[in-house]
Amino acid sequence: MTEARAVGGVRTLVGVVALVLLVCGSVLAAAGAVGVWVDGTRRDADGFLTTGARSFHSNGYALSFGAVDMRWTEVAVPVGQDWLGVVELRGDQDVFVGIGAADDVAEYLAEVEYDEVRVREAAIGYRHHPGGPAPSVPAARPIWVAYGTGSLAWQAEEGEWAAVLLNPDGSRVVDSKVSARATVPALGPVSATALLGGVVVLAVGGVVLLSAGVRGRKRPNGQ
C-alpha cells in the first residue's frame, strides 16, 4: 500500500510537471507566433512598425513625453540599437521635434511652463509644470541627439532619453498630432526563437505526460 501511494505520488508529480511544461510552452509559442506575424505582416513599405497618430496639446511652451530608460540590459544586450533600431517621430509640419538626454532636457525645461504627457492605456493625461517661456529657441540648444521640424530620425542607443515638442520660435501653445515608428530589428529573430522554444517545450511536456500515462497503465500488470 505504501509503495502504491509512493508510485501514485510520483505519477501525480510527473503529471504536474508535464502540465506546467505544456502551459509554458503554449504561452511561449503563442507569443512567438504573434511576434512572427507582426514582423511579417504589420511593417509599412519602409520596413517600420508604426503607431497611429494621436493629438497632443499644451497651453504652455512645450510638450514633454517623459524620460524613457533604455539602459535595462540584464542580459548585456543594448536595448537601443539592437532592439529598436531606427526611430522616427513625426509631428505637424510647423512643430519642432527633439530627442535629448533626459537630464539635459530636464535642465532645459526646468524654468519653462510645459505639459508632460502621460498615456495610460487609451487615455491621455497631462502633468502641468508652471514656469515661463523657453530660455532660447529649441534648435539653438546643443542638447539634441536628433531634431527636426515636423519629424526626426534617430538611431536608438543605450541611455535615458526624452522627446519634446515645441514651436520653432519658442512661442506658447503647442498643438500637434504625433506618431512614431521604428525598425525593431530584433523582433523577427526573438519571435522565431520564442516560437521554436515553445514548440520544443510543448514536445517535452507531451513526452513527459505520455510517459506518465504509459507507466500508470503498465504498473498493475507488473505487480
Domain ranges of the chain: 2-42+188-222, 49-182
For 13-69, the pLDDT digits (tens) are 777 887 888 899 999 999 999 999 998 998 999 999 998 899 999 999 999 998 888
Amino acid making up residue 108: Y
**pTM, rounded to two decimals:** 0.76
Q: Render the burial of 52-73: b for 16+ CB within 10 Å, e for the rest.
A: eeeebebebbbbbbebeebeee
Packing angle, helices 187-222 and 2-41, rounded to 10 = 160
* pLDDT > 90 fraction of the chain, expressed in percent and rounded: 58
Which residues touch 149 (CB under 8 Å, ≥6 apart)? 93, 94, 95, 96, 97, 168
pLDDT of 91 above 50: yes
Q: Can you tell me the distance from the alpha carbon of 20 to that of 207, in angstroms, rounded to the nearest whole number? A: 13
177-183 average pLDDT score: 93
SS3 content of the chain, % helix, strand, coil (to 5): 40, 30, 30
Average pLDDT of 177-192? 91
pLDDT in tens, 124-158: 899 999 999 988 899 999 999 999 999 999 998 88
For 79-88, write each residue's pLDDT tens digit.
Answer: 555 678 899 9
